[in-house]
Amino acid sequence: MENTTIIAALLGLLEGLTEFIPVSSTGHILLAGHFLGFNSAGKTFEVVIQLGAVLAILTLYSARLISVFAAAPHDPVARRFVWSVLLAFLPAAFIGVLAHGFIKTVLFETPMLIAVMLILGGIVLVFVDRFAPEPTHEDAMKLPIPMAIKIGFIQCLAMVPGVSRSGATIVGALMLGASKRAAAEFSFFLSMPTMAGAFAYDMYKNRDVLDITALNEIAVGFIMAFITAVSVVKWVLGYVSKHGYALFGWWRIIVGSVALLFLVNGF
């Protein structure tokens, strides 16, 4: 029990560190769990602790979100922002429901695929960070609705673990003309309904295999993810505004390459 609790804390820490940067938190957690011999029923642990990161975003943006929803009935800008996030969420919700079984039983159980996608995603991120078009949208809350919907469809690529939800949405937003800060911030906002929806649906689908004895590990991972994510979100906006995303691309390439090397050698 003590060993699994320590591993759960480490995985929660890893979730909080990686959820809101474009390196694939799910890919990191699944690979770490593979090498540490950690398994959860239906991969529920890996999904539930993501809710801790969602609550971190809600905590940090609560005042801003409350003001937006309060203004939405009479402010067209606030109303457009709410619609842009909700419409961007729908493609992932639809595909996630249809492909849930395949994602959880096949893609989540393929460490080799995760390592390869980390590498490929890192290459894409380094390239886009350097060659993305000049930004035409500086405010994440004022992105055009058609642009937000396109980002929502691009987010669906993250159904493949190792791609990264934040990575897909950030790359999509950058290529569609968002600034580096706006791309990161819109990714934060879109994460709320996306991850909350994934959590709720996963709980429903795995209600018969949930292990009550694993609640301790889930709680530890959840709390660690929340605490860490609060710090990361505060840091990442300032960092990407000044330095961009290349660092995260190279990190993905290194982690994916090391994981691939271990997996090829039978670990």
Alpha-carbon span 75 to 78, nearest angstrom: 5
Establish how many alpha carbons lie within 13 A of residue 1's alpha carbon, considering only the half-sphere containing its beta carbon.
Answer: 4
Q: Cα-flanking dihedrals φ and ψ of residue 210, to 5°? A: -65, 135
Q: What is the pLDDT of residue 200?
A: 81
Cβ pair 38, 5 in contact under 8 A? no
The number of angstroms, rounded, from the C-alpha of 158 to the middle of its chain's C-alpha atoms is 8
- Using H for helix, E for strand and C for coil, what is the string for 163-203? CCHHHHHHHHHHHCCECHHHHHHHHHHHHHHHHHHHHHHHH
Cβ pair 9, 226 in contact under 8 A? no
Q: What is the pLDDT of residue 259?
A: 92
Q: What is the pLDDT of residue 4?
A: 80
The single-letter code of the amino acid at 231 is S
Q: What is the pLDDT of residue 91?
A: 94
Cβ pair 204, 157 in contact under 8 A? no
One digit per residue, the tens of pLDDT, for the chain of length 267 reads 457 888 888 888 998 888 888 998 888 888 888 888 877 655 667 777 888 888 888 888 888 889 998 999 999 999 999 999 999 999 999 998 888 777 777 777 788 999 999 999 999 999 999 898 999 999 999 999 999 999 999 999 988 888 988 999 999 999 999 999 999 999 989 988 988 888 788 777 766 666 656 677 888 888 999 999 988 888 888 898 888 999 999 999 999 999 999 999 877
Q: What is the pLDDT of residue 40?
A: 65
The structure tokens listed for 251 are: 């990190």
Alpha-carbon span 253 to 123, nearest angstrom: 7
Q: What is the pLDDT of residue 42?
A: 54
Radius of gyration of the chain (CA): 18
Alpha-carbon span 176 to 135, nearest angstrom: 8
The single-letter code of the amino acid at 32 is A
Q: What is the pLDDT of residue 128?
A: 93
Alpha-carbon span 187 to 237, nearest angstrom: 11
The number of angstroms, rounded, from the C-alpha of 70 to the middle of its chain's C-alpha atoms is 27
pTM of the model: 0.86
